[in-house]
Structure 1
Amino acid sequence: MKQRVITAVVALIIFIPIIIIGGTWIDVAALVLGIIGISEILVMKKKLLVSPESILSFLGVSVLIIPDAWMNLLPSYIDRMFLFYVFVILLLLLTVFSKNMFTFDDVGVITLGMLYVGSGFHYFLMARELSLTTLLYALFIVWITDSGAYMFGRTFGKHKLAPHISPNKTWEGSVLGSLAAVIICSIFLILYPINSMGLLTIVIVSALLSIAGQFGDLIESALKRYYDVKDSGKILPGHGGILDRFDSLLLVLPIMHLVGII
């Protein structure tokens, strides 16, 4: 528990100033986090991080994450998805040159992983680009839902939410955690509005994002369960890996784009 608290404090001391300053600092931070995130999937797949497929996946996820301004350095006919497609094709070619030691299934997992991690961290940058308030809203949704689900689950939890994927989560914790997030984050948006949403819309969107965050957590739990690992990585002692910490956010941020906030 002590190690977990120390890691959290150190991470926040580094993370909070970066999101406040924004700009190049957060661009580089998102790239680093994304590369670490895809590397955790590669390690679960038992791939060497210095292998050709790993290097291509680092480049592919980076193309998805980088801010739009960086893409302006390239010719106008080359867009983000075209570059990503090039890296996917190179991964497919690798199945031929490796004599199928690197398989089509491997390409599928890595491609999906790049989209999952890369898109999430790209919208992380877009949220901060819009305003600090937009990014804080996403973070508060995730943090309050997680903390509420944990505390209420320990106190009132009796009915398991997804026992085969995440045995400690309960329906009581899930519902009350979302309720806490909706109340607090709705008040936050009323005090610090990020667009012209009315109160009812704020409540509905906050509830949707809180539920999405919990699904993001469960998706990553299912991934770890499939590969039979406890944590996605070990970079954060007591907390696991980057995917363990950002799993909810990687789904919340794209949903925020879907509903027109980002």
Structure 2
Amino acid sequence: MRTRVITAVVALLIFIPVILYGGWLIELAAFVLGTVALGEILVMKKKLVVSAEAVISFLGMAVILAPDRWLNFLPSFINRQFLFYIFVMMLLLHTVFTRNHFSFDDAGVLTLAMLYIGSGFFYFVQARQAGLSTLFYILFVIWTTDSGAYMIGRKLGRHKLAPQISPNKTWEGSIGGTIVAVIIGTIWVWFFPQTYSLPMMILLTVLFSVCGQMGDLVESSLKRFYGVKDSGKILPGHGGILDRFDSLLFVLPVLHFVGLF
């Protein structure tokens, strides 16, 4: 527990100033975090992070994650969608060159990982550019959902939410976490209004809290499939980057799609 608390404090001392400063610093942080997160999936799949498929995957994710100005050196007819398509085709061709030692299934997993991680951290930067209040709103919703679900689940949890995927999670904890998130989110929106009216933001907070929990379960399912306890070891007591950002990666694109930024 001591290690966990120390890691959390150090991480926040780094993370909060990066968010407050924004700009190029948060873009760089998102790029680094995305690279580490994709590396964690490669390690779980027992792929070398210096292999050809890893390099292609890192480049494909970078194309999704990169701010527009990072790609300004390219000719006008080449956009990020075109580049991403090229990298996906390279992964597929790699199955031929390796005679299926790198398989179609492997290519599918890495393509999905590029989209999942690249899009999540891209919208993390976009949320910051929309304003500090928007980013802190969703951070508080996710953090209070997690904390509320943990505390209420420990006290009142009786019915398992997804016992084959995450045995400790309960329906009582999940619902309680969402209720806590709605309370905190409503208070935040009251003082820092967002795009929509307060009643609509309350409904969206429920959606975001549920989506965040779904992201947590997706990452738990991934770890269960690969037989690992944590996605990585970069954060002592907390696991890897995916362990800490799983909910955000899932929910941030949803914020964009509903028009919050």
TM-score, normalised with respect to structure 2: 0.98
Alignment of 1:1-262 (within 5 A): 1-195=1-195, 197-262=196-261
Residue aligned with 1:161, SS? strand
| Identity within the alignment, % | 62
Residue aligned with 2:169, SS? strand
CA contact (8 A) 2:153 2:174 kept: yes
Which one-letter code corresponds to 1:56 in the other structure? I
Q: Deviations over 1:185-243 (max 9, x none)?
A: 11101211232x11210110000000000000000000001111100111101000000
Shift of 1:78: 1.6
Residue aligned with 1:247, SS? helix
The runs of 5 or more residues in structure 1 that have no matched partner are: none
Which one-letter code corresponds to 1:141 in the other structure? V
- State the distance in 2 between where 1:75 and 1:198 align: 43
Residue aligned with 2:46, SS? coil
CA contact (8 A) 2:149 2:178 kept: yes
- State the distance in 1 between where 2:131 and 2:31 align: 19
Which one-letter code corresponds to 1:259 in the other structure? V
Residue aligned with 1:183, SS? helix
- State the distance in 2 between where 1:15 and 1:63 align: 24
- State the distance in 2 between where 1:111 and 1:248 align: 20
Residue aligned with 1:189, SS? helix
Q: Deviations over 1:112-154 (max 9, x none)?
A: 0111111100000100111111111111111010000001111
- State the distance in 2 between where 1:66 and 1:155 align: 44
The runs of 5 or more residues in structure 2 that have no matched partner are: none
- State the distance in 1 between where 2:20 and 2:71 align: 24
CA contact (8 A) 1:67 1:126 kept: no
Deviates most, 120-129 or 77-86: 77-86
- State the distance in 1 between where 2:49 and 2:74 align: 28
Residue aligned with 2:119, SS? helix
Shift of 1:50: 0.8
Shift of 1:259: 0.7
Shift of 1:86: 0.9
Shift of 1:68: 2.5
- State the distance in 1 between where 2:172 and 2:127 align: 31
CA contact (8 A) 1:185 1:206 kept: yes
